[in-house]
Amino acid sequence: MEIESLLVRSKGESDAVAPPIYQTSTFRADSAEQFDEMARTPRHERFYTRYGNPTLAQVEALLAKLEGMEAALVTASGMAAISVAVLAMVRAGDHIVAQRDLYGGTTSLLKNWLPRFGVEATFVDQTQPQAFAEAIRANTRAIVLETPSNPLLRITDLRAVTAIAHERGITTIADNTFATPYNQRPADFGVDLVVHSATKYLNGHSDVIAGAIAGSRERVNACWEAMIVLGAVLGPIDAWLVLRGLRTLAVRMERHNRTAQRVAEMLAGHPAVSAVAYPGLTSHPQHDLARAQMRGFGGIVSFEVAGGYDAAQRVLARVQMPLRAASVGGVESLIVHPAAMWGGIIDAGALAESGVGPSLIRLSVGLENEDDLLDDLDRALRSDRAYSG
């Protein structure tokens, strides 16, 4: 079944067209014997919702199919997903290799938190597969990836890196949030665990916080054990909202892909813009690699405006259609100034090292009329004092 049909036709056990919400914290057993069986069965759907729930199970089954994996797990947030996935794969004394361009929360987890528990991480240039091989140690247990990366949209060669990892028995973990399983399936290139901030495109309506993990049954069960101890469980209503959003993932991603391509092409030729990052542009240094492992290039466009930090702030002040709000992947366009947004949690040196310059703007392209969005961006850029044309 093709992905478009799978998204719409996915069914749970109910005969209801819209799946029901099992809004309960616990489930009763009809006998002592049944209770004993429920309590002893990992991930039982009808024992206690921190362990499992029919609504969560329906989302998980669909996500596993979308990612081409054996199993999946939903979590309380995207950070819960990456934290649980990493913690389930390592222990004190282990080492992780990670790409340098990662979501800020993931970087903080690896750089600031895991060392407290005896796990060290080495960061490398994701555009150079050999850099991963050179960073591996005898105690390396996991490689952490994100492609396209946030916010610079750099691409990781998944096939090359997973080949390096598997030759040495190392688990690969890839964040597929920006691409979504509609545009990219990391499992097709050998990735062991895929994580998502389901808050973003999977839900697609900016009304839930959620995360997801997909992988082999063995690895996902290990993640489940970590999740129930950490308490990073997703609530039934939130799981239902993700399931609701997934039904339109294909049509939304088609629109995001198309509009973002037009926006990127317009910005690439704009006199007030000094640089554009979008994998769909032939000028992107990894365009050919993106084409090889993605069916579409996503809805995020990052660009730099002439004039530095203040110019970026002025552009954000002038746009009328994109909302000045954190996050990505909603039906509405969202725009942020990363240097301003992350300046309070990431020092200037770390930002510069990651390539996030003072004039960088990240735009999450929504589902508005394409021409309206293009006109609004053009007006905001042309009215800036940094534009001298």
From the candidates 43, 154, 185, 200, give the one annotated as an active-site residue. Answer: 200
* Whether 310 contacts 316, CB under 8 Å: no
- Of the residues 22, 51, 103, 182, which is catalytic? 103
Q: Is 43 a catalytic residue?
A: no
> Within 13 A of 70's CA, how many CA atoms are on the CB side?
10
What does the alpha-carbon distance between residue 369 and residue 358 come to, in Å, rounded to a whole number? 29
DSSP labels for 182-248?
HH--GGGGT-SEEEEETTTTTT-SS----EEEEE-HHHHHHHHHHHHHHT-PPPHHHHHHHHHHHTT
Residue of 48, 50, 375, 376 marked catalytic: 50
Cα–Cα separations (whole angstroms), residue 238 to 74, 188, 203, 207: 10, 29, 9, 9
Q: Residue 278 catalytic?
A: no
Query: Is 103 one of the catalytic residues?
Result: yes
Rounded to a whole number of angstroms, the CA Rg of the chain reads: 21
Determine the Cα–Cα distance for residues 135 and 97; give it in Å rounded to an integer.
Answer: 7
What are the tokens at 136? 């591996």
Alpha helices per DSSP H over the chain: 3-9, 32-40, 54-67, 78-89, 104-108, 129-135, 158-167, 180-183, 217-230, 236-246, 249-268, 287-293, 308-318, 338-341, 348-354, 370-382
Active site residue 347: no
Q: Return d(Cα 239, Cα 62) in angstroms, integer.
A: 12
Joined together, the tokens standing for residue 110 give: 């690896």
Q: Which of 94, 101, 157, 175 is catalytic?
A: 175
Contact present, 262 and 374 (Cβ < 8 Å): yes
Q: Which of 153, 133, 143 is nearest to 106 (CA)?
A: 143
Active site residues: 50, 103, 175, 200
